[in-house]
Homo-oligomer: A and B are copies of this chain.
């Protein structure tokens, strides 16, 4: 019940400087962990900061010579389970670095998208930008950002012909590993539901991994067993219905993300196919979805939280400047759920 009407008298760096008997520069140095401050002075300043409850204004810090303490996270039409852990990782890294995260959901495409992003960048002047799929594989966007000289990290499976910093994991070998696991269980007719449409300019790593393993096992994939669901549950239903209601349907289906695998479970139910008895279903990402559907999905664990964390970390460490091409590769893991089963040993 403290004076409820107290005007929120903002306390500034001047107040701290005066109270501590030092100049504002010194306070600023302490704030920025400048090692060139005598420990004794530092402690004294720190003490008054605490005593006064002082908190530096982030906007003022960004003006003048100061570097902005903002990280921008950009996404577009996101698969929620993909973007949220990344965001969380980014927030976690920001917190420990006295930075804040500004999240933007882009709306446009083509030149309008570029303008939209430049608008954000120019207004915010962030320390760096984290680009997630599908923004992270747009060469024009990357190029525009490079011209603006902004640090950026792409969270993206596939490299582009440019040196932008990137965090990723080897989706191609993960896709192959998953496919091999199905083959080892006795599956021969394996369907694949891609996320990226056939003619997409970017290489589809997941699908390539699938193709690698099938080829290596000498298995053919009829065209009818390949389709695309654009990574979204709703859009996956129709192609799945088509694929699974053919005369000779696959005994296993590999979906390029968990959302589409959830759709496969639904379609299987519609067609009275028991999973995994009649049909094995595997996903990709080990997102929240994979854990809560019944049966729990066999999938590839993608370290999304770490990816967000690492992306921001690269920015903070200066490994994401326009002239740098740092890359960080993270490990993946095959997670065995209950959506897959071996095939009875026959032909």
A-side interface residues toward B, CB under 8 Å?
2, 4, 6-8, 10, 55-60, 62-63, 68, 80-81, 83-84, 87-88, 91-92, 95, 100-105, 107, 118-120, 122-125, 146-149, 233, 259, 262-263, 265-266, 269, 288-289, 291-296
- A125 adjacent to B266 (CB under 8 Å): no
Q: Decide: A103 near B119, CB < 8 A? Known: A2-B147, A288-B80.
A: no
- B87 adjacent to A100 (CB under 8 Å): no
Q: How many copies does the complex hold?
A: 2
- B8 adjacent to A124 (CB under 8 Å): no
Beta-carbon nearest neighbor of A72 in chain B: B100
Residues of B within 8 A of A55 (CB): 118-119, 122-123
| Distance between Cα atoms of A104 and B58 in the complex (Å) | 15
| Distance between Cα atoms of A60 and B10 in the complex (Å) | 18
Q: Decide: A263 near B292, CB < 8 A? Known: A55-B122, A105-B88.
A: yes
Could you give 12 example pairs across A and B, Cβ below 8 Å?
A57-B63, A57-B122, A58-B59, A58-B124, A59-B59, A59-B124, A87-B103, A102-B102, A102-B103, A233-B288, A233-B292, A259-B292
Q: Decide: A124 near B100, CB < 8 A? Known: A63-B63, A80-B288, A294-B293.
A: yes
Task: Indicate which residue in B101, B146, B233 contacts A103 across the interface (CB closer than 8 Å).
Answer: B101
Task: Indicate which residue in B56, B122, B149 contacts A7 across the interface (CB closer than 8 Å).
Answer: B149
| Distance between Cα atoms of A125 and B263 in the complex (Å) | 44
- B291 adjacent to A292 (CB under 8 Å): no
- The minimal Cβ–Cβ distance linking A266 to chain B, given in whole angstroms, is 4
